[in-house]
């Protein structure tokens, strides 16, 4: 009976560490940046990167523009400009 408890404890620790390490991996990286394409909607981008760290929106007549920035803990950032809720420009900056 004792070996089974030991095995379950080891399994529980392994699962916890796996979940913890996956949670530490930032979505703000070069791989996800490459997935962002011109014409994608804000919702499609949020599905890849999550909610932006900061964003601001303004509009004139039928045009609206949003500037959004996603930042990771290490300072890496992705900036995206949307026009009428579609990606127009994007940039990636890695903290070195």
Question: Residues near 86 by Cβ (< 8 Å), separated by ≥ 6?
Answer: 38, 39, 40, 41
List the domains of the chain with CATH numbers.
Answer: 26-93 (3.30.1450.10)
- pLDDT tens for each residue of 66-87: 999 999 999 999 999 999 999 9
Query: With bands split at pLDDT 50, 70 and 90, how would you rate the model's confidence at 6?
Result: confident
Look up the pTM and report it. 0.74
How far is the C-alpha of 23 from the C-alpha of 64, rounded, in Å? Answer: 34
């Amino acid at each position: 009976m004792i070996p089974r408890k030991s095995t379950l404890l080891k399994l529980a620790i392994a699962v916890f560490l796996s979940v913890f390490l996956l949670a530490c991996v930032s979505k703000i990286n070069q791989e996800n940046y490459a997935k962002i394409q011109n014409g994608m909607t804000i919702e499609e981008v949020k599905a890849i990167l999550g909610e932006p760290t900061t964003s601001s929106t303004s509009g004139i007549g039928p045009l609206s523009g949003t500037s959004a920035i996603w930042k990771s803990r290490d300072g890496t950032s992705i900036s995206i400009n949307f026009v009428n809720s579609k990606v127009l420009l994007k940039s990636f900056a890695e903290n070195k």
